[in-house]
Amino acid sequence: GAVVSQHPSWVICKSGTSVKIECRSLDFQATTMFWYRQFPKQSLMLMATSNEGSKATYEQGVEKDKFLINHASLTLSTLTVTSAHPEDSSFYICSARGLAGEDTGELFFGEGSRLTVL
Partner 1 sequence: KQEVTQIPAALSVPEGENLVLNCSFTDSAIYNLQWFRQDPGKGLTSLLLIQSSQREQTSGRLNASLDKSSGRSTLYIAASQPGDSATYLCAVRPAYNFNKFYFGSGTKLNVKP
Q: Which spans of this chain sit near partner 1 (rule: CB under 8 A)?
A: 1, 4, 6, 32, 34, 42-44, 46, 49, 57, 91, 93, 95, 97, 103-112, 114
Per the document, the length of the chain is 118
**Min CB(86)–partner 1 separation in Å:** 19
**Cβ-based nearer residue to partner 1, 49 or 80:** 49
Q: Dihedral sign for Cα 55, 60, 63, 68, please.
A: negative
Closest CA to 77 of 19, 3, 25: 25
**Cβ-based nearer residue to partner 1, 82 or 89:** 89
**Cβ-based nearer residue to partner 1, 63 or 103:** 103
Phi-psi region for residue 117, left (φ > 0), alpha (ψ -120 to 50) or beta?
beta
